[in-house]
Amino acid sequence: METLREEEVLRLEEALLKKMEDRLTPLMEQAARDAARMAMQRLRLDMMAHISRHEETIHRAHSKIGTYSWLLRPIKTTTPSCCGIGSNDLGLFR
């Protein structure tokens, strides 16, 4: 009789643990999602603050690019000849 009670208690404990686990799992998943969302929001705010601190520097750099646009002109290249790249320019192999 006592063995039967122990088995019954163990079965009830397992059922109770299963119910608790079923309730706890979604709560843990939600807590993990919330923590990840908070971390991403903090990261986003930190990045925005960092960019805004350097915004003036970025604008100055962009305005200087317009001033020195001649530096960004296309580079003239020569067409490769049968004897190698630019060999016609060197006067070799004529």
The mean per-residue pLDDT over the stretch 60-86 comes to 62
Supply the pTM of this predicted model: 0.44
Residue type at position 48:
M
Burial of residue 53 (number of CB atoms within 10 Å: 0-12, 13-18, 19+):
exposed
Kindly write down the DSSP assignment for every residue of 15-45, as one continuous string: HHHHHHHHHHHHHHHHHHHHHHHHHHHHHHH
With cut-offs at 50, 70 and 90, classify the pLDDT of residue 94. Answer: very low
Tell me what pLDDT residue 36 has: 95
What percent of the chain is modeled with pLDDT above 70?
65
